[in-house]
Structure 1
Amino acid sequence: MLSESDVVRWRVPWFDGRTSFRDAWPAVEARINQVFDHDKFVNGQVTAELGQAIASYTGARYAVGVNSGADALYLVLRAVGVGEGDEVVMSDGAEWSSVAAVERAGATPVFTAKLSGRTRAVLAAHSYGRMPDLGALRKIAADAGVPLVEDGVPLGSRHDGVHAGLSGAAGAVSFAPDSTLGALGDAGMVITGDRELATRCMMLRHHGRTSEVPGSAPDTSGPAAMVGVNSKMDEIQAAVLLARLDGLDGALARRREVAARYTSRLTGIDGLGLPAQDVWPAYVVAADRRDDLAEHLTRAGVQTVIPRAATSLALPVHPDLSPGQIDHVCDAISRFYRGGRA
């Protein structure tokens, strides 16, 4: 197996946000300066402002900033009562991070629609922006009398007018740098319309302390009412996200352009199934000889990601990709299926 060290540099990296961050830097710098002016660097005023902005953008009543997308899902699972010995029914698109969050909560992931007396939640995963069958999953959850939870929620994705993450009890959002809205490190958020669930997530993110409720002062700490974790959002990450939020719709439009160019160039290649969706964290193809294709692309200087699904391969689709880089990826894929060299 070819290792990344065998490639001198990536001609087409999975993510390269230097141009976007350079363009956004004046606004980012101004927001970061606000953090220093406030002299509070974790879970403060800027995090609260970001929560309000994300709630407004998505239509959620509450948006709770946390340390990462993985923590967001873990805290939601805890907040809806998932614990030791329980089972969580997972959609087929769930990635390893979703599985890890379920196991971290003490539960067992179940990848069928089989319900049992131990079923405590149904998890709908938006894998790389692909919308799960929310109607079917809602029915499974309703039949079991358990909450529907969404993971991997891509900002800007909507179904029947409802933003992703709000079709059930809550949604977990990641702000990793390569997300549709990316920080300069890890950050995440829980979006929900349920005040009680939001309150529990606010408590759980701060060691279970009771002062973490909507409307209370964010810099006070009460007694611990439950066993929580330390998963508060860094103010600097919140500042970066607030500065970049105004450009989100433009970035989503650019990702659609990148995806459209992929589709135009790759249509008709035998052995390759192409995706169709509206929001593009990545461009995930269904590929015959997936692992061989991934190695072939690595040799061509193209960085890819292998999802959990057996034939899936995720291609980079970030806004800073040039037409030449997209064409390089497509040319390499075409050569692979024609039996040529990288």
Structure 2
Amino acid sequence: MAEHSRIPVLDLAPELDEVGPALEAAFRRVMASGHFILGPEVDAFEREVAEYLGVRYAIGVNSGTDALVIALRALGIGPGDEVVTSPFTFFATPESVSVVGATPVFVDVDPETFNLRPELVARAITPRTKAILPVHLFGHAADLEALQSLARAKGLRIVEDVAQAFGGSLNGRKLGTFGDAGAFSFFPSKNLGCLGDGGLVATNDAEVADAARMLRAHGSRKKYENEQIGYNSRLDALQAAFLRAKLPHVDAWNAGRREAAIRYRELLAGVPGIVLPSERQGVRHVYHQFTIRVLDGRRDALKAALADAGVDTMVYYPKAAHRLPVYEGFGEFPQADAASGEVLSLPMWPRIPVAVQERVARALREAKARG
């Protein structure tokens, strides 16, 4: 990257260059096979990713959103049920609850990790509550062990939203394997991304896996024998082949993100008015985003100043879910509101050059010094 070129939030070119020959070989292999929907490539990817995650079953679907919807449906969540989840997340998280006919019940988030606070989840449980839907936001694990204990005590199911945390872990166990199901996204910008849309439901429950496979194929186990109203949510063979080519590299790429996060912490140490991301004990954060908090109402000014300096940043998410028109009136969540006004994600990718990070940090320090 040229010294004075604009710095993007994400640069996929180094990753694609690294696996380019393998991606081209995957493309040729699928073209020669004549199998483009499900088939041997999807079967092979499902086996390989299940082994990587340490689960019995992995079911490829066509997006992370569908993974959430299908996981909830496979667990029997539907009309009249409540699902406790976070208001500070991408819209697909609560949307999936609404799509299956259930009601999302929001609770506020931890100001350090942006994830669900188990003690607040406990207070939100009602006789209609059927599940908890924690989000491993920005790559940091939610407090799964506390949520598991709560779910066991109350007879609830857990669906993990792992869209931003593929390869992350808690106490050595991969995220997406603690709950009754884990929902993954393979959107191109994810830590493991395909070259289009893709998703995955992971589970150790044979009945959940069977239901997910049926739901992804129009509610049928056998063609033309439809048992339920389902979805056309089959993973493309080509995307599965691309994911197979990239999967062996994901641990190294996540390690690169962690190294970049350490470097950012060193470069930004002591900058006033900035709160750096936290990493709780036992968590292996995979830094889908390196998200700082900018205090004193200065986030938007800092974002503008960095843009003027040629550094792109992103705000995930400028409005918490309860501030969106569709969920107005679903409660007040001050920590989620505060996060929405303060978070700023800096450029981050596995092979981000040291010089690029130094330039980002220099631009940020200079902008803060100017006030």
Say yes or no: TM over 0.5: yes
* Deviates further, 313-322 or 20-29: 313-322
Partner of 2:54: 59
> Could you tell me how far apart the structure 2 residues matched to 1:297 and 1:118 are?
47
Work out which of the residue numbers 293, 298, 304 in structure 2 matches 1:295.
304
* Deviates further, 35-44 or 329-338: 329-338
Q: CA deviation at 1:74?
A: 1.1
Whether contact under 8 Å (1:122, 1:140) holds in the other structure is no
Q: CA deviation at 1:92?
A: 6.0
Distance 1:83 1:42, change over 3 A: same
Alignment of 1:240-255 (within 5 A): 240-255=242-257
**Count of residue pairs brought into register by the alignment:** 323
> Could you tell me how far apart the structure 1 residues matched to 2:29 and 2:264 are?
40
Distance 1:101 1:298, change over 3 A: farther
Whether contact under 8 Å (2:61, 2:200) holds in the other structure is yes
> Could you tell me how far apart the structure 2 residues matched to 1:197 and 1:232 are?
16
Work out which of the residue numbers 159, 180, 197 in structure 2 matches 1:149.
159
Distance 1:10 1:240, change over 3 A: farther
TM-score of the pair, normalised by structure 1: 0.89
Residue 21 of structure 1 aligns to which amino acid in structure 2? L
Work out which of the residue numbers 37, 43, 49 in structure 1 matches 2:44.
49
Q: Is 1:135 the counterpart of 2:137 in the alignment?
A: no
Q: Is 1:196 the counterpart of 2:207 in the alignment?
A: yes
Partner of 1:38: 33
Tell me which stretches of 4 or more aligned residues in structure 1 moved more than 6 Å. Answer: none
Q: CA deviation at 1:65?
A: 0.5
* Deviates further, 9-18 or 133-142: 9-18
Partner of 2:315: 306
Q: Aligned to 1:120, what secondary structure does the other structure show?
A: strand
1:231-277: CA deviations, max 9, x gaps?
11111111111111121122112112211111111111121111134
> Could you tell me how far apart the structure 2 residues matched to 1:97 and 1:270 are?
34
Unaligned residue ranges in structure 1 (runs of 5+): 1-8, 212-220
> Could you say what the CA RMSD is over the residues aligned between the two structures, in angstroms?
1.8
Q: Is 1:328 the counterpart of 2:359 in the alignment?
A: yes
TM-score of the pair, normalised by structure 2: 0.82
Report % sequence identity: 38
Q: CA deviation at 1:334?
A: 1.2
Residue 133 of structure 1 aligns to which amino acid in structure 2? D
* Deviates further, 331-340 or 129-138: 331-340
1:72-110: CA deviations, max 9, x gaps?
111111111221232110146543221222222222221
Q: CA deviation at 1:52?
A: 0.6
Q: CA deviation at 1:226?
A: 0.9
Work out which of the residue numbers 253, 267, 270 in structure 2 matches 1:268.
270
Q: CA deviation at 1:13?
A: 1.2
